[in-house]
Amino acid sequence: MEFLSEYASFLAKTLTVLVAIVAVLLVVAATRGKGRRGNGQLQVQKLNDFYKDLRERLEHSVLSKDQLKTVRKAEAKAAKQEKKAPSSKARVFVLDFDGDIKASATENLRHEVTALLSMAKADDEVVLRLESGGGMVHSYGLASSQLVRIRDAGIPLTVCVDKVAASGGYMMACIGGKILSAPFAILGSIGVVAQLPNVHRLLKKHEIDFEVLTAGEYKRTLTVFGENTEKGREKFQEDLETTHELFKGFVARYRPQLDIDAIATGEVWLGMAAQERLLVDELKTSDQYLAERAAEAELFHLHFAQKKSLQERVGLAASMALDRFVLTWLSRLNQQRFW
């Protein structure tokens, strides 16, 4: 028992020291990182090299030495001829947007678009690999505006949806001159939703008053704690309808071939059904499309990477660990339904 007591005391002291060291490091990092917010770096990867490496690795495993030698000789000859002649290949700039409810990826997207517009021409192409279930109207409005910059510059924009582009996600997708979708991707949800709890009756039951003071008749319509009125509900619904009409008008502007009233019901469709309703132009995954383009064009993947402080990296690591834990258990529970 005495040994266990001493061991527990040792662990407590060690933990205290570790916590103190981490706290000091966080303070130092916060001090050094002060004023450096917004710094980042544009990373560019030539995707042709990526596809070439995949092919060469497979060839090395499958072909005989003589076959491999013949292939390499032919490639060397083609590369030599290509160096002599000026390159006439088109350029494709590839961007990624993985959207959350706040469209946080917009911060990187705006820098990526600014960079490519500094040199892209009308005979180039921008391919956006888009994944988003939508979110806040103003956030996705700003994200969509970044894509409008590309379209207004006269540069062809192709949007690829492999999994989902719904609500705000489709608001972005519709700007593309061409929309490609995987057969079972989810698209649509052209609608507006707002929901909030109201605990006024609970507060009233416990004799708790909550005062809401406003200047302006509609400064507050629905609240969480106050007593909601029918007039406030009507105004809130009116605002939702107005936003919906603006959403419909925006989509109709960039996809005039749509029967906007028929598809702007808030419904979603899988890729095959979405194509029938003209929400997408072609059923094809981003992998297939980019592999095809790599055979005839130079592909450049652009990613603007923000520099993160130590405390942000620690927080991100903790968040990712928690996400993995939750997703693992959700996956296990879901699998049990099919056992």
Q: Please write the tens of the pLDDT for every residue from 139-191.
A: 999 999 999 999 999 999 999 999 999 999 999 999 999 999 999 999 999 99
Paired residues of 257 in beta bridges: none
* Residue-averaged pLDDT of the chain: 85
Nearest to 26 by CA among 299, 253, 312, 246: 312
CATH architecture designation of domain 90-189+264-314: Alpha-Beta Complex (3.90)
DSSP string spanning 243-308?
HHHHHHHHHHHH-TTS-HHHH-SS-EEEHHHHHHTTS-SEE--HHHHHHHHHTTEEEEEEEEEEP-
Q: Which of 34, 65, 205, 219 is catalytic?
A: 219
CA–CA gap between residue 85 and residue 16 (Å, rounded): 67
Q: Does residue 273 register a pLDDT over 90?
A: yes
Q: What is the pLDDT of residue 105?
A: 96
Q: What is the pLDDT of residue 34?
A: 54
CA–CA gap between residue 266 and residue 190 (Å, rounded): 5
Share of the chain above pLDDT 90, in %: 53
Catalytic: 178? no
Q: Which of 144, 167, 181, 189 is catalytic?
A: 167
pTM of the model: 0.77
Burial (CB count within 10 angstroms: exposed 0-12, middle 13-18, buried 19+), residue 235:
middle
Q: Does residue 7 register a pLDDT over 60?
A: no
Q: Read off the pLDDT of each residue in 289-317 and give the average, rounded to a whole number.
A: 81
Q: What is the pLDDT of residue 55?
A: 84
Catalytic: 231? no
Count of residues in the chain: 339
Q: What is the pLDDT of residue 63?
A: 86
Share of the chain above pLDDT 70, in %: 78
Q: What is the pLDDT of residue 314?
A: 59
Q: Does residue 91 register a pLDDT over 90?
A: yes
56-79: pLDDT as tens digits: 888 888 888 888 888 888 878 777
Nearest to 103 by CA among 158, 148, 165: 165
CA–CA gap between residue 38 and residue 212 (Å, rounded): 37
Domain coordinates of the chain in residue numbers?
Answer: 90-189+264-314, 191-256
The answer to which of 25-39, 44-58, 127-141 has the lowest mean pLDDT is 25-39
